[in-house]
Amino acid sequence: MNQTRALSLTLSLLLPLSGAFFTWGTPSAISATDSDAETTTVHIDGTTEGRVWEGLGYVSSSGSSKLLMDYPKEQQQDIIDFLFKPDFGAGLTHYKMEIGSDVNSSSGTEPSHMRSRTDFDITRGSGLWLAQKAKKANPDLLLDALRWGTPKWVAEGNRDDKYLYYKNFLQGARDHYGLEFDYLGPDQNEGAFDRDWVVDILRPRFNRDGFADVKFVAKDAVGSNWSIAAQTKQDPALNEAIDAFGEHYTFTSTTDAQASNKPLWHSEARPPLRSAGMRGSIGALEDVAKGIMAAYVNGKMTKVEFQPFLESWYDNVVYNTKGSLIADKPWSGHYEIGKGVWIAAHFTQFAKPGWKFIDSGSAVGSTFNYVTLKKPDNSGNYSTIITNVTAKPQTYTFHLSGGLSTDPVHVWRTNEKEDFVQLNSIKPKNATYSITIEPYSLYSLTTTTGQQKGKPKHGFPKNKNLSLPYTDNFNRYNIGNQPPYTMDQGGAFEIAKIGKEGKALRQVITSNIKPVDWVYRNSPNPYTILGDSEWTNYSVSSDVSLEGNRDGYVFVAGRVVDNPSGHVPPLGYNLRLSGDGSWELRRGDTVLKDGSLKSFDPAQWHRIKLTFINQTIQASIDGKEITRVDEGIGGLASGMIALGSGYHYASFDNLRVEAIDAQTPVFSKRIDDVDSSIQYEGEWKHVHDSYIHYKRTLSKATAGDVIQIDHTALGTDLHQFDFEGSWNHGSNDSWSNQTDATYQVRFEGKQVKLYMIKAPNHGIAAVSIDGGPETEVDLYSPSRQEEALVYTSPDLPPGEHRVKVRVTGDKNESATNSWIMADRIVVKTGVMKQAEFTQPFHGSGISIIGVTTDHLLFDVYVDGKLVQKIHKENAPKGNKRVLYQITDLQPGKHHLRLIAKSPLQLDALEVMEATSAKGSGRP
């Protein structure tokens, strides 16, 4: 459940800064002496054997491996080796893939092998393609499969239909790819679990039809507290049918689960959030390395599977920036090896599946965290993995007994500066040795050899932009294939023999076969994304066909910066053309201009074109300009393209993305807000935030005479949210419908304003100041309103005050529930503050990207001269928006300075570079 994945994001890394500059995750120098170290003594008795270690895995779903298919074959193989090849990189031992259904299961779709009872194409999608290559890299790799969404014909059919869907998947994997699956989730991921289906239909028919060796893992639930264990305890037939238990996002298990004699798996876990660095509760060491240890020590789980370990999707999809290996630039072959690969290696290269945990050598806590595993033979070989999640060195003294080897101990380390480095070995004396573990690091100690930090055969290609012009008439692909660089967010876009002159890209999921969504994600109407997120000034055009459908629509989009969750189009500029000849130019789902064409024929091909020149957007249909708009603050500066339609057939042909001219810059180099080249002065908070921001980071200035306080600022101190009662916490808001649950915020100021979400299922809140009378605030709205101003206090005397919000449990007659949200409050302090940042850059222009709010007040200097004073009220609200843009500078070195005089949220800077459209081309 992706909401659950976001729970720990509520503890944002609030790092106040005043001074020269800030760099994310920069290690501090270790000045502690040995006397500063924490110390512990561990007696490891080799006879205290625990459970059998089963390794680490990758959950491939939501299109997370799609772009890998489009990589050059050399880099493709290197990446697969880093993921699966033993004793080379991550050394993953388990691969679980989504059985596709054409729904967006989080960040993209996985196409179905069966869209009807008579349709079958096992080659759709990337899951089995990768499984085959991964199995070749590691023949001992275990294969697993699980369903998220449900094809309509299965949902509306009987159990025979459901069985056919599962059986044909396994049969197709066997016949076409030569793959035998070891495990299967017998029902829906984090959703429905039908006991009778599993016991009476699936298990006996698999046994009958040649799949008796496929084991069942259940029930891949989140928040169920291992209910499957209690269920099987009372049900012998179900207990016999289930071979392993899997639970998501938990580090503990129940007594029933541990007494079941079945393997317990942390069957979906989060890999390191790259923006969180190594430190803190959501840093890589505590959340992942310690998490693997805690899963065993506290939960007796012997396998951990990460979703997604490979991030081969675009960086603007939902739940981005949490993969361990990043492969999202197929045109250049560029990829990145993240910390998570080497964190995994610290376990997989030092303990193979079948090794046993030594319980006397395993513990987790606030200070000391380690596990020990022993090779299952008479050699006495063992490995101990240790992580130090604290700021102090830790000295361990190990005493060995119970037949453990006293051979030299080989030492490997990963810290904030280096990954997977071998250090000097240690020779135990009298079966005893000591080692000091440096702060914020991960060590593996072993008596075995053979580990290595693998190197790619073909090197690491440079990161290059996707060059323009980019054209595709789709004629060179096989029917039914997805073309390179496309990633479907809804529907399915495939090659079909229906083009204007040959083949075309066709959206093939119609309303009569539209699948049933996964329980935690609504799929948008069909669209696919493609291209380079740093494309800035360009035009995109395509021939489009509604295939005679007067009730349908198509769109072409550009400058796509985000692909939101839910029933909304991509956040970019899109020109939507409907079958009745009406058109709309939109930013996301906001209509900027609209109109209608005369004598429109939806059975004919038409050409849609969008042109982006700095802040001007031009739209044309069939070679005639129909409108143009000028977007300033609140607009979108750069991004990829998208093609979309409704749930009906629609075709696209002769796609073309091209530069404006030889002089207008095509690309912008994006500089993240926490890059060390940006120098900050004044009061800033640099936070790990939501996936809706570039690289999940945001820099927030406290400026002007107001303070913005976000719900993620938790605590009882001044300017913090203090929650009481039952509340749910996500990265974007907190919510409760428990009567009399409250939150309060202490603040210093003269006035406070509350911003909350209004929605059809929201109730009535009671607001009070300083314990005074309550004011009721109705948060119902027939449609959802984000960050609505719902309460403004009267003027208050200077000093400290307290605002309190209470869930009344009441609602008006139209509301469907009584939910109350906590989002943010704004305090008017009466004291003016300023904050600023500076950035040297080389180019001909620069865009300042951030979050647009009700009130923006700042001054912009370029090369020491004041170029503009910005005072903007009620700009279009949103993320990744233009706060300011300057163009047409003389190409060369420049210097930007911004002085904020009101709260400001900086996401990135985008520098317009040289005018060349060259980069890396298509395959």
Residue 444 in contact with residue 452, Cβ under 8 Å? no
The proportion of the chain whose per-residue pLDDT surpasses 90, expressed as a percent, equals 88
pLDDT band at 916, cuts 50/70/90? low
Return the pLDDT at 832.
86
Confidence of residue 835 (pLDDT cuts 50, 70, 90): very high
In a domain, 779, yes or no: yes
Say which DSSP state 794 is in.
Answer: P
Other CB atoms within 10 A of residue 466 CB: 24
Q: What is the mean pLDDT of residues 22-41?
A: 47
Structure-block tokens of residue 494: 């495939």
Same structural domain, 183 and 306: yes
Q: How confident is the model at residue 919 (pLDDT cuts 50, 70, 90)?
A: low
Domain boundary among 322, 355, 388: 355
Rounded to 5°, angle at Cα 749 from 747 and 755? 65
User: What number is the average pLDDT over the span 214-235?
Assistant: 96
Select from 39, 48, 40 the least CA-distant residue to 360.
48
Q: Within this chain, do residues 858 and 793 fall inside the same structural domain, yes or no?
A: no
What CATH number is attached to the domain comprising 823? Answer: 2.60.120.260
Asked if residue 278 is part of any domain, the answer here is: yes
Percent of the chain clearing pLDDT 70 (strictly above): 95
Give me the mean pLDDT over the 555-572 stretch: 95
* Beta carbons within 8 Å of 460's beta carbon, 6+ residues apart: 334, 335
| Strands 553-562 vs 734-736: parallel, antiparallel or unpaired | unpaired
Closest CA to 290 of 223, 389, 183, 407: 389
Residue 514's pLDDT is what? 98
In a domain, 592, yes or no: yes
> Sorting pLDDT into bands at 50, 70 and 90, what band is 688?
confident
Please determine, for residue 34, whether its predicted confidence score (pLDDT) is greater than 50: no
> Could you tell me the pTM of the whole model?
0.88
Q: In this structure, is residue 414 part of a structural domain?
A: no
For the ranges 159-168, 579-588, 872-881, the lowest mean pLDDT is seen at: 872-881
The number of folded domains in the chain is 4
- Confirm whether 653 is domain-assigned: yes
At residue 844, the pLDDT reads 96
Each residue's pLDDT tens digit, 96-149: 999 999 999 999 999 999 999 999 999 999 999 999 999 999 999 999 999 999
Pair 381, 447: CB distance under 8 Å: yes
Give the H/E segment covering residue 704. strand 704-710
pLDDT at residue 9 tops 80: no
Q: Which residue has the tokens 């690091």?
A: 441
Beta strands in 72-162 (DSSP E): 94-99, 142-147
Is there a domain that residue 404 lies in? no
Residues 872 and 838 in one domain: yes
Contact by Cβ (8 Å): 72, 923: yes
> Are 215 and 314 found together in one domain?
yes
374: in domain: no
The mean-pLDDT minimum among 197-211, 728-742, 880-894 falls in 728-742
Neighbour tally for 498: CB within 10 Å: 16
792 token code pair = 């403004």
Together in a domain, 197 and 306: yes
Residue-wise pLDDT tens digits, 313-355 = 999 999 999 899 999 999 999 999 999 999 999 999 999 999 9
Question: Are 522 and 571 part of one and the same domain?
Answer: yes
Q: Would you state the pLDDT for residue 729?
A: 87
Q: Are residues 715 and 697 in the same domain?
A: no
C-alpha–C-alpha distance, residues 892 and 878, integer Å = 31
pLDDT at position 57 is 98
Cβ distance 239 to 228 under 8 Å? Answer: no
The pLDDT, as a whole number, for residue 889 is 95
Give residue 36's pLDDT: 61
848 touches 898 (CB < 8 A):
yes
Measured in whole angstroms, the distance separating CA 88 from the mean position of its chain's CA atoms is 26
800 shares its domain with 875? no
Per-residue model confidence (pLDDT) at position 202: 98
DSSP H or E stretch at residue 294 = helix 290-297
Of 448-462, 579-593, 679-693, 908-922, the least confident: 908-922
- Mean pLDDT over all residues of the chain? 93
- For residue 386, tell me if it sits in a domain: no
Confidence of residue 31 (pLDDT cuts 50, 70, 90): very low
Q: How far is CA 207 from CA 198, 243, 423, 688, 811, in A?
A: 12, 14, 51, 49, 54
C-alpha to C-alpha distances, 477 to 321, 878, 890, nearest whole angstrom = 31, 38, 44
Q: Domain containing 158 — which CATH number?
A: 3.20.20.80
Q: Which amino acid is at 445?
A: L
pLDDT(24) > 80 = no
Given a cut of 50, whether residue 28 has pLDDT beyond it is: no
What pLDDT, on the 0 to 100 scale, is given for residue 787? 80
* Residue span of the structural domain in which 544 resides: 470-659
* pLDDT for the residue 730: 79
Residue 409's SS3 state is strand
pLDDT in tens, 41-67: 999 999 999 999 999 999 999 999 999
pLDDT value at 617 more than 60: yes
- Regarding whether 647 and 567 lie in a shared domain, the answer is yes
pLDDT category, 3, cuts 50, 70, 90? very low
Listed residues 773, 802, 828: the one ending a domain: 828
- Average the pLDDT over each of 76-85, 373-382, 711-720, 910-919 and give the range with the smallest value: 910-919
Q: What is the mean pLDDT of residues 747-774?
A: 95
Q: Torsion angle, CA of 80/85/90/93, rounded to 10 degrees?
A: 100
Question: Residue 31 corresponds to which amino acid?
Answer: S
pLDDT at residue 544, as a whole number: 98
Higher pLDDT, 616 or 5: 616
One domain for residues 818 and 854: no
Residues 518-555 have pLDDT tens digits of 999 999 999 999 999 999 999 999 999 999 999 999 99
Based on the fold, state whether residues 207 and 324 are members of the same structural domain.
Answer: yes
pLDDT at 786: 80
CATH (domain of 634): 2.60.120.560
pLDDT at 365 > cutoff 80: yes
CA nearest neighbour of 884 among 864, 874, 870, 873 = 870
Chain segment 620-635, per-residue pLDDT in tens: 999 999 999 999 999 9
pLDDT value at residue 914: 67
Query: Do 160 and 269 fall into the same domain?
Result: yes
